[in-house]
Amino acid sequence: MYKPAIFMISLPPLPAPCHILQESSEEDLTVQGSDSSDDSEEEIDDSASLASSVADLSSEINLKEQLVDQLEKAQTNLHVMRQQYEEKMSLLQTQIKNIESERDKVLKDIASKRSQSGGVSSKDVKARYEKQLGGLRGELKTLKMAKKEHSKALKKNAQNENELRRLKADLLEMKKARVKLLNQMRAEASRKKQEEARHTRHVSQLKKESTKKEHKIQSLEADAQRKAIIMKRRADELALLRRQTRMRHSASNSSLSSTSSSSSHPHPSHPLSSHSSASGGVGVSGEAESSETTSVVFRDRPSVKTLATKFERNSSHRKSSVFTSTSARKKWRNFEKKITDAIMNRLTVATLSKDMDRWIEKRDRLSRRADELRYHRSHLLKESSPDPEELQSIEEDLDSLLANVEYIQSNIVELQNELIAVDDSKVHT
Protein backbone atom coordinates (compact mmCIF):
# COMPACT_ATOMS: atom_id res chain seq x y z
CA MET A 1 0.00 0.00 0.00
CA TYR A 2 1.24 3.49 -0.83
CA LYS A 3 2.01 5.55 2.26
CA PRO A 4 2.67 9.21 1.38
CA ALA A 5 5.23 11.20 3.36
CA ILE A 6 4.17 14.39 5.10
CA PHE A 7 6.81 17.20 5.06
CA MET A 8 6.91 19.59 7.99
CA ILE A 9 8.87 22.80 7.29
CA SER A 10 10.86 24.19 10.23
CA LEU A 11 12.39 27.65 9.70
CA PRO A 12 15.32 29.14 11.66
CA PRO A 13 14.81 32.34 13.63
CA LEU A 14 14.68 35.39 11.41
CA PRO A 15 17.22 38.21 11.76
CA ALA A 16 16.36 41.68 12.88
CA PRO A 17 14.17 43.73 10.54
CA CYS A 18 15.95 45.67 7.82
CA HIS A 19 14.79 49.11 8.94
CA ILE A 20 16.47 48.57 12.33
CA LEU A 21 19.68 47.55 10.55
CA GLN A 22 19.42 50.59 8.31
CA GLU A 23 18.96 52.88 11.29
CA SER A 24 22.03 51.39 12.99
CA SER A 25 24.02 51.69 9.74
CA GLU A 26 22.98 55.31 9.32
CA GLU A 27 24.01 56.00 12.90
CA ASP A 28 27.41 54.40 12.22
CA LEU A 29 27.82 56.38 8.98
CA THR A 30 27.07 59.77 10.57
CA VAL A 31 30.13 62.02 10.33
CA GLN A 32 30.49 64.65 13.02
CA GLY A 33 32.31 67.93 12.40
CA SER A 34 35.50 68.52 14.30
CA ASP A 35 38.60 70.74 14.38
CA SER A 36 41.13 70.76 11.55
CA SER A 37 43.76 69.13 13.77
CA ASP A 38 41.65 65.91 14.04
CA ASP A 39 40.72 65.64 10.35
CA SER A 40 43.10 62.82 9.51
CA GLU A 41 42.03 60.71 12.53
CA GLU A 42 38.35 61.27 11.74
CA GLU A 43 38.89 60.28 8.11
CA ILE A 44 40.55 57.05 9.24
CA ASP A 45 37.67 56.36 11.68
CA ASP A 46 35.07 57.11 8.99
CA SER A 47 36.74 54.77 6.52
CA ALA A 48 36.92 52.01 9.14
CA SER A 49 33.27 52.58 10.07
CA LEU A 50 32.16 52.42 6.44
CA ALA A 51 34.14 49.25 5.81
CA SER A 52 32.71 47.64 8.99
CA SER A 53 29.16 48.64 8.02
CA VAL A 54 29.57 47.19 4.53
CA ALA A 55 30.96 43.94 5.96
CA ASP A 56 28.08 43.59 8.46
CA LEU A 57 25.53 44.40 5.79
CA SER A 58 27.03 41.86 3.40
CA SER A 59 26.87 39.18 6.13
CA GLU A 60 23.19 39.95 6.81
CA ILE A 61 22.44 39.87 3.09
CA ASN A 62 24.08 36.43 2.74
CA LEU A 63 22.09 35.08 5.69
CA LYS A 64 18.78 36.35 4.36
CA GLU A 65 19.54 35.03 0.90
CA GLN A 66 20.05 31.57 2.44
CA LEU A 67 16.69 31.86 4.27
CA VAL A 68 14.94 32.93 1.07
CA ASP A 69 16.44 29.96 -0.80
CA GLN A 70 15.25 27.55 1.92
CA LEU A 71 11.71 28.96 1.87
CA GLU A 72 11.54 28.85 -1.90
CA LYS A 73 12.73 25.21 -1.89
CA ALA A 74 10.13 24.32 0.77
CA GLN A 75 7.35 25.92 -1.27
CA THR A 76 8.50 24.07 -4.38
CA ASN A 77 8.50 20.75 -2.48
CA LEU A 78 4.97 21.39 -1.15
CA HIS A 79 3.63 22.11 -4.60
CA VAL A 80 5.31 19.00 -5.99
CA MET A 81 3.84 16.86 -3.19
CA ARG A 82 0.37 18.26 -3.76
CA GLN A 83 0.61 17.48 -7.45
CA GLN A 84 1.74 13.94 -6.61
CA TYR A 85 -1.16 13.50 -4.16
CA GLU A 86 -3.67 14.67 -6.73
CA GLU A 87 -2.25 12.43 -9.44
CA LYS A 88 -2.26 9.41 -7.09
CA MET A 89 -5.85 10.09 -5.93
CA SER A 90 -7.00 10.50 -9.49
CA LEU A 91 -5.34 7.17 -10.38
CA LEU A 92 -6.93 5.39 -7.41
CA GLN A 93 -10.34 6.79 -8.22
CA THR A 94 -9.96 5.62 -11.78
CA GLN A 95 -8.93 2.16 -10.59
CA ILE A 96 -11.91 2.02 -8.19
CA LYS A 97 -14.30 2.96 -10.95
CA ASN A 98 -12.82 0.39 -13.29
CA ILE A 99 -12.99 -2.33 -10.63
CA GLU A 100 -16.59 -1.40 -9.75
CA SER A 101 -17.61 -1.46 -13.38
CA GLU A 102 -15.81 -4.75 -13.84
CA ARG A 103 -17.49 -6.12 -10.71
CA ASP A 104 -20.93 -5.06 -11.86
CA LYS A 105 -20.32 -6.60 -15.23
CA VAL A 106 -19.12 -9.88 -13.71
CA LEU A 107 -22.02 -10.01 -11.31
CA LYS A 108 -24.43 -9.40 -14.16
CA ASP A 109 -22.85 -12.13 -16.20
CA ILE A 110 -23.01 -14.49 -13.22
CA ALA A 111 -26.65 -13.65 -12.59
CA SER A 112 -27.54 -14.30 -16.24
CA LYS A 113 -25.64 -17.56 -16.39
CA ARG A 114 -26.49 -18.85 -12.94
CA SER A 115 -28.90 -21.30 -14.25
CA GLN A 116 -26.56 -22.75 -16.80
CA SER A 117 -23.23 -22.79 -14.92
CA GLY A 118 -24.43 -23.60 -11.48
CA GLY A 119 -20.84 -23.45 -10.42
CA VAL A 120 -19.29 -20.33 -8.91
CA SER A 121 -21.65 -18.34 -6.78
CA SER A 122 -21.94 -14.61 -7.14
CA LYS A 123 -21.15 -14.16 -3.47
CA ASP A 124 -17.60 -15.40 -3.90
CA VAL A 125 -17.01 -13.14 -6.88
CA LYS A 126 -18.56 -10.21 -5.12
CA ALA A 127 -16.48 -10.82 -1.99
CA ARG A 128 -13.32 -10.97 -4.05
CA TYR A 129 -14.09 -7.67 -5.77
CA GLU A 130 -15.19 -6.08 -2.54
CA LYS A 131 -11.92 -7.06 -0.95
CA GLN A 132 -10.03 -5.52 -3.82
CA LEU A 133 -12.20 -2.43 -3.74
CA GLY A 134 -11.77 -2.17 0.01
CA GLY A 135 -8.03 -2.05 -0.34
CA LEU A 136 -8.29 0.63 -2.98
CA ARG A 137 -10.82 2.59 -0.93
CA GLY A 138 -8.54 2.38 2.11
CA GLU A 139 -5.65 3.63 0.11
CA LEU A 140 -7.84 6.40 -1.28
CA LYS A 141 -8.90 7.32 2.22
CA THR A 142 -5.24 7.46 3.31
CA LEU A 143 -4.46 9.71 0.38
CA LYS A 144 -7.38 11.95 1.27
CA MET A 145 -6.11 12.22 4.83
CA ALA A 146 -2.64 12.99 3.53
CA LYS A 147 -4.12 15.58 1.22
CA LYS A 148 -5.96 17.09 4.12
CA GLU A 149 -2.74 17.31 6.12
CA HIS A 150 -1.03 18.70 3.08
CA SER A 151 -3.73 21.35 2.81
CA LYS A 152 -3.06 22.31 6.37
CA ALA A 153 0.65 22.51 5.53
CA LEU A 154 -0.20 24.72 2.56
CA LYS A 155 -2.24 26.98 4.82
CA LYS A 156 0.71 27.15 7.16
CA ASN A 157 2.92 27.78 4.15
CA ALA A 158 0.92 30.92 3.45
CA GLN A 159 2.47 32.41 6.54
CA ASN A 160 5.84 31.31 5.24
CA GLU A 161 5.04 33.05 1.95
CA ASN A 162 4.32 36.26 3.83
CA GLU A 163 7.59 35.86 5.69
CA LEU A 164 9.30 35.16 2.38
CA ARG A 165 7.93 38.33 0.85
CA ARG A 166 9.03 40.31 3.89
CA LEU A 167 12.50 38.77 3.71
CA LYS A 168 12.74 39.60 0.02
CA ALA A 169 11.72 43.19 0.70
CA ASP A 170 14.26 43.46 3.51
CA LEU A 171 16.87 41.88 1.29
CA LEU A 172 16.18 44.41 -1.45
CA GLU A 173 16.46 47.30 1.00
CA MET A 174 19.69 45.92 2.42
CA LYS A 175 21.15 45.60 -1.06
CA LYS A 176 20.19 49.19 -1.77
CA ALA A 177 21.81 50.25 1.50
CA ARG A 178 24.96 48.31 0.58
CA VAL A 179 25.08 49.98 -2.84
CA LYS A 180 24.68 53.34 -1.12
CA LEU A 181 27.51 52.54 1.28
CA LEU A 182 29.74 51.35 -1.56
CA ASN A 183 29.06 54.55 -3.50
CA GLN A 184 29.85 56.54 -0.39
CA MET A 185 33.08 54.61 0.05
CA ARG A 186 34.01 55.27 -3.60
CA ALA A 187 33.23 58.97 -3.19
CA GLU A 188 35.27 59.07 0.01
CA ALA A 189 38.18 57.30 -1.70
CA SER A 190 37.98 59.70 -4.64
CA ARG A 191 37.91 62.67 -2.27
CA LYS A 192 40.92 61.34 -0.38
CA LYS A 193 42.75 60.77 -3.64
CA GLN A 194 42.05 64.36 -4.69
CA GLU A 195 43.15 65.60 -1.27
CA GLU A 196 46.39 63.61 -1.53
CA ALA A 197 47.01 64.91 -5.05
CA ARG A 198 46.34 68.48 -3.89
CA HIS A 199 48.60 67.96 -0.88
CA THR A 200 51.31 66.50 -3.13
CA ARG A 201 51.05 69.50 -5.46
CA HIS A 202 51.18 71.85 -2.48
CA VAL A 203 54.26 70.12 -1.08
CA SER A 204 55.90 70.19 -4.51
CA GLN A 205 55.12 73.89 -4.84
CA LEU A 206 56.56 74.53 -1.39
CA LYS A 207 59.69 72.56 -2.30
CA LYS A 208 60.00 74.54 -5.51
CA GLU A 209 59.61 77.84 -3.67
CA SER A 210 62.05 76.69 -0.99
CA THR A 211 64.60 75.78 -3.66
CA LYS A 212 64.12 79.14 -5.35
CA LYS A 213 64.53 80.93 -2.03
CA GLU A 214 67.65 78.91 -1.27
CA HIS A 215 69.15 79.83 -4.64
CA LYS A 216 68.12 83.44 -4.09
CA ILE A 217 69.83 83.43 -0.68
CA GLN A 218 72.97 81.96 -2.22
CA SER A 219 72.87 84.57 -4.96
CA LEU A 220 72.39 87.34 -2.40
CA GLU A 221 75.28 85.97 -0.34
CA ALA A 222 77.48 85.91 -3.44
CA ASP A 223 76.40 89.48 -4.29
CA ALA A 224 77.10 90.56 -0.72
CA GLN A 225 80.52 88.94 -0.89
CA ARG A 226 81.30 90.67 -4.16
CA LYS A 227 80.06 93.98 -2.80
CA ALA A 228 82.18 93.50 0.32
CA ILE A 229 85.24 92.92 -1.87
CA ILE A 230 84.41 95.99 -3.92
CA MET A 231 83.84 98.06 -0.77
CA LYS A 232 87.14 96.84 0.65
CA ARG A 233 88.80 97.77 -2.61
CA ARG A 234 87.22 101.23 -2.50
CA ALA A 235 88.24 101.63 1.16
CA ASP A 236 91.83 100.69 0.33
CA GLU A 237 91.84 103.13 -2.55
CA LEU A 238 90.41 105.83 -0.31
CA ALA A 239 93.03 105.14 2.39
CA LEU A 240 95.72 105.23 -0.28
CA LEU A 241 94.41 108.54 -1.60
CA ARG A 242 94.30 109.98 1.91
CA ARG A 243 97.88 108.79 2.57
CA GLN A 244 99.00 110.27 -0.71
CA THR A 245 97.23 113.53 0.09
CA ARG A 246 98.90 113.71 3.50
CA MET A 247 102.26 112.96 1.94
CA ARG A 248 101.66 115.61 -0.71
CA HIS A 249 100.67 118.19 1.89
CA SER A 250 103.65 117.35 4.08
CA ALA A 251 105.98 117.56 1.07
CA SER A 252 104.58 120.90 0.00
CA ASN A 253 104.78 122.25 3.54
CA SER A 254 108.38 121.10 3.93
CA SER A 255 109.35 122.64 0.59
CA LEU A 256 107.65 125.91 1.49
CA SER A 257 109.34 126.02 4.90
CA SER A 258 112.75 125.29 3.40
CA THR A 259 112.27 127.95 0.73
CA SER A 260 111.17 130.55 3.24
CA SER A 261 114.04 129.74 5.60
CA SER A 262 116.60 129.95 2.80
CA SER A 263 115.21 133.26 1.55
CA SER A 264 114.97 134.97 4.99
CA HIS A 265 118.22 133.66 6.75
CA PRO A 266 121.62 133.33 5.09
CA HIS A 267 123.48 130.09 5.34
CA PRO A 268 125.59 129.85 8.55
CA SER A 269 128.66 128.74 6.68
CA HIS A 270 128.40 131.60 4.19
CA PRO A 271 131.56 133.82 4.27
CA LEU A 272 129.47 136.93 4.26
CA SER A 273 127.67 135.96 7.42
CA SER A 274 130.95 134.93 9.00
CA HIS A 275 132.38 138.18 8.00
CA SER A 276 129.42 140.06 9.44
CA SER A 277 129.59 138.24 12.72
CA ALA A 278 133.33 138.54 12.79
CA SER A 279 133.24 142.23 12.05
CA GLY A 280 130.55 142.61 14.67
CA GLY A 281 132.82 140.85 17.10
CA VAL A 282 135.70 143.01 16.13
CA GLY A 283 133.63 146.09 16.60
CA VAL A 284 132.71 145.02 20.06
CA SER A 285 136.11 143.88 21.22
CA GLY A 286 138.40 145.62 18.67
CA GLU A 287 140.34 147.22 21.34
CA ALA A 288 141.19 143.86 22.95
CA GLU A 289 142.34 142.05 19.76
CA SER A 290 145.69 142.56 18.22
CA SER A 291 146.35 144.25 14.91
CA GLU A 292 147.87 141.02 13.54
CA THR A 293 144.63 139.05 13.80
CA THR A 294 142.62 141.79 12.07
CA SER A 295 144.91 141.90 9.12
CA VAL A 296 144.69 138.12 8.61
CA VAL A 297 140.88 138.13 8.58
CA PHE A 298 140.51 140.89 6.03
CA ARG A 299 143.15 139.37 3.89
CA ASP A 300 141.24 135.98 3.58
CA ARG A 301 137.71 137.43 2.88
CA PRO A 302 136.29 136.73 -0.69
CA SER A 303 134.92 139.37 -2.97
CA VAL A 304 131.22 140.36 -3.21
CA LYS A 305 130.83 139.03 -6.78
CA THR A 306 132.11 135.62 -5.76
CA LEU A 307 129.62 135.47 -2.89
CA ALA A 308 126.66 136.43 -5.11
CA THR A 309 127.52 133.75 -7.72
CA LYS A 310 127.80 131.05 -5.06
CA PHE A 311 124.44 132.07 -3.51
CA GLU A 312 122.62 131.83 -6.86
CA ARG A 313 124.11 128.38 -7.55
CA ASN A 314 123.02 127.08 -4.14
CA SER A 315 119.46 128.43 -4.61
CA SER A 316 119.03 126.77 -8.05
CA HIS A 317 120.35 123.49 -6.61
CA ARG A 318 117.79 123.57 -3.79
CA LYS A 319 114.91 124.27 -6.22
CA SER A 320 115.86 121.42 -8.59
CA SER A 321 116.15 119.00 -5.66
CA VAL A 322 112.66 119.96 -4.43
CA PHE A 323 111.09 119.46 -7.87
CA THR A 324 112.86 116.12 -8.38
CA SER A 325 111.61 114.62 -5.08
CA THR A 326 107.99 115.75 -5.78
CA SER A 327 107.86 114.08 -9.18
CA ALA A 328 109.41 110.92 -7.76
CA ARG A 329 106.78 110.75 -5.01
CA LYS A 330 104.05 111.31 -7.60
CA LYS A 331 105.38 108.50 -9.76
CA TRP A 332 105.64 106.22 -6.74
CA ARG A 333 102.02 106.97 -5.76
CA ASN A 334 100.88 106.18 -9.32
CA PHE A 335 102.86 102.96 -9.21
CA GLU A 336 101.31 101.98 -5.86
CA LYS A 337 97.82 102.74 -7.15
CA LYS A 338 98.36 100.56 -10.22
CA ILE A 339 99.62 97.70 -8.06
CA THR A 340 96.64 98.05 -5.69
CA ASP A 341 94.21 98.14 -8.61
CA ALA A 342 95.81 95.07 -10.15
CA ILE A 343 95.60 93.17 -6.83
CA MET A 344 91.95 94.11 -6.29
CA ASN A 345 91.11 93.18 -9.89
CA ARG A 346 92.76 89.80 -9.41
CA LEU A 347 90.83 89.22 -6.17
CA THR A 348 87.55 90.21 -7.83
CA VAL A 349 88.20 87.96 -10.83
CA ALA A 350 89.12 85.05 -8.52
CA THR A 351 85.94 85.48 -6.48
CA LEU A 352 83.75 85.78 -9.56
CA SER A 353 85.43 82.76 -11.18
CA LYS A 354 84.91 80.69 -8.03
CA ASP A 355 81.24 81.64 -7.90
CA MET A 356 80.85 80.85 -11.60
CA ASP A 357 82.49 77.44 -11.20
CA ARG A 358 80.16 76.67 -8.31
CA TRP A 359 77.06 77.70 -10.29
CA ILE A 360 78.23 75.77 -13.38
CA GLU A 361 78.79 72.64 -11.29
CA LYS A 362 75.32 72.97 -9.78
CA ARG A 363 73.77 73.55 -13.22
CA ASP A 364 75.47 70.44 -14.61
CA ARG A 365 74.28 68.36 -11.65
CA LEU A 366 70.68 69.55 -12.03
CA SER A 367 70.84 69.00 -15.81
CA ARG A 368 71.94 65.39 -15.30
CA ARG A 369 69.08 64.88 -12.83
CA ALA A 370 66.64 66.36 -15.37
CA ASP A 371 67.93 63.99 -18.06
CA GLU A 372 67.38 61.04 -15.70
CA LEU A 373 63.81 62.16 -15.04
CA ARG A 374 63.14 62.55 -18.80
CA TYR A 375 64.45 59.04 -19.42
CA HIS A 376 62.31 57.63 -16.60
CA ARG A 377 59.24 59.47 -17.95
CA SER A 378 59.77 58.12 -21.47
CA HIS A 379 60.20 54.62 -20.03
CA LEU A 380 56.89 54.94 -18.14
CA LEU A 381 55.07 56.26 -21.21
CA LYS A 382 56.13 53.17 -23.16
CA GLU A 383 54.31 50.93 -20.67
CA SER A 384 50.74 49.78 -21.35
CA SER A 385 49.24 51.26 -18.17
CA PRO A 386 51.55 53.85 -16.58
CA ASP A 387 50.85 55.15 -13.10
CA PRO A 388 49.37 58.68 -13.44
CA GLU A 389 50.48 59.71 -9.95
CA GLU A 390 54.08 58.75 -10.68
CA LEU A 391 53.96 60.59 -13.99
CA GLN A 392 52.58 63.69 -12.29
CA SER A 393 55.29 63.54 -9.64
CA ILE A 394 57.98 63.25 -12.34
CA GLU A 395 56.50 66.20 -14.25
CA GLU A 396 56.48 68.37 -11.13
CA ASP A 397 60.07 67.45 -10.24
CA LEU A 398 61.17 68.10 -13.83
CA ASP A 399 59.50 71.53 -13.87
CA SER A 400 61.19 72.43 -10.59
CA LEU A 401 64.60 71.33 -11.89
CA LEU A 402 64.20 73.26 -15.15
CA ALA A 403 63.18 76.39 -13.22
CA ASN A 404 66.27 76.05 -11.03
CA VAL A 405 68.51 75.51 -14.07
CA GLU A 406 67.07 78.63 -15.69
CA TYR A 407 67.67 80.65 -12.52
CA ILE A 408 71.25 79.36 -12.22
CA GLN A 409 71.88 80.17 -15.90
CA SER A 410 70.79 83.77 -15.29
CA ASN A 411 73.25 84.00 -12.40
CA ILE A 412 76.04 82.63 -14.62
CA VAL A 413 75.26 85.22 -17.32
CA GLU A 414 75.35 87.96 -14.67
CA LEU A 415 78.74 86.77 -13.42
CA GLN A 416 80.06 86.68 -16.99
CA ASN A 417 78.94 90.28 -17.50
CA GLU A 418 80.70 91.30 -14.28
CA LEU A 419 83.92 89.56 -15.42
CA ILE A 420 83.72 91.40 -18.75
CA ALA A 421 83.24 94.69 -16.87
CA VAL A 422 86.31 93.97 -14.72
CA ASP A 423 88.38 93.17 -17.82
CA ASP A 424 87.21 96.40 -19.45
CA SER A 425 88.22 98.39 -16.39
CA LYS A 426 91.66 96.75 -16.48
CA VAL A 427 92.05 97.72 -20.12
CA HIS A 428 91.05 101.33 -19.45
CA THR A 429 93.43 101.65 -16.51
- Give 15's contacts (C-beta < 8 A, 6+ positions apart): 60, 63, 64
Q: What is the pLDDT of residues 245-262, one digit of tens each?
A: 778 777 777 766 665 555
Cα 33 to Cα 29: distance, rounded to the nearest angstrom: 13
Question: What is the arithmetic mean of pLDDT over 19-32?
Answer: 39
Alpha helix stretches (DSSP H) within 113-121:
114-117
CA–CA distances in Å: residue 389 to residues 187, 285, 293, 395, 396? 19, 124, 125, 10, 11
Residues in the chain: 429
Mean pLDDT of 64-81: 78
Dihedral of alpha carbons 105, 110, 112, 113, sign = positive
- Helix H segments across 265-290? 271-285
pLDDT, mean of residues 320-344: 74
What are 40-58's pLDDT values in tens digits?
Answer: 566 666 677 777 777 887 8
- Averaged pLDDT score across all residues of the chain: 70
The domain locations on the chain are 18-30+41-113+121-205
Arithmetic mean of pLDDT, 404-426: 83
Greater confidence (184 vs 24) lies with 184
Percent of the chain clearing pLDDT 90 (strictly above): 1
Determine if residue 9 is left, alpha or beta; phi over 0 gives left, psi from -120 to 50 gives alpha, anything else beta: beta
Mean pLDDT of 101-111: 72
Asked whether the predicted pLDDT for residue 411 surpasses 50, the reply is yes
Q: pLDDT band at 152, cuts 50/70/90?
A: confident
pLDDT of residue 110: 67
Sorted by sequence, the CB contacts under 8 Å of residue 65 that are 6+ apart come out as 171
pLDDT of residue 293: 38
Q: How far apart are the first and last CA of the chain?
A: 139
Residue 236 to residue 228: CA distance in whole angstroms: 12
How far is the CA of 190 from the CAs of 127, 183, 196, 356, 397, in angstroms? 89, 10, 10, 48, 24
Q: Which fold has domain 18-30+41-113+121-205?
A: Helix Hairpins (1.10.287)
| Nearest of 372, 362, 416, 419 to residue 394 by alpha carbon | 372
Cα–Cα distance between 230 and 425 in angstroms, integer?
A: 13
Distance CA 386, CA 377 (A): 10
- pLDDT-derived band of residue 172, with 50, 70 and 90 as boundaries? confident
Those residues whose C-beta lies under 8 Å from the C-beta of residue 258, and which sit 6 or more positions away, are: 318, 322
DSSP 8-state class, residue 235: H
- The region of weakest confidence among 61-70, 162-171, 252-261 is 252-261
| Residue 111, pLDDT score | 67
- Amino acid at residue number 426: K
Strands (E), 186-336: none
pTM of structure: 0.36
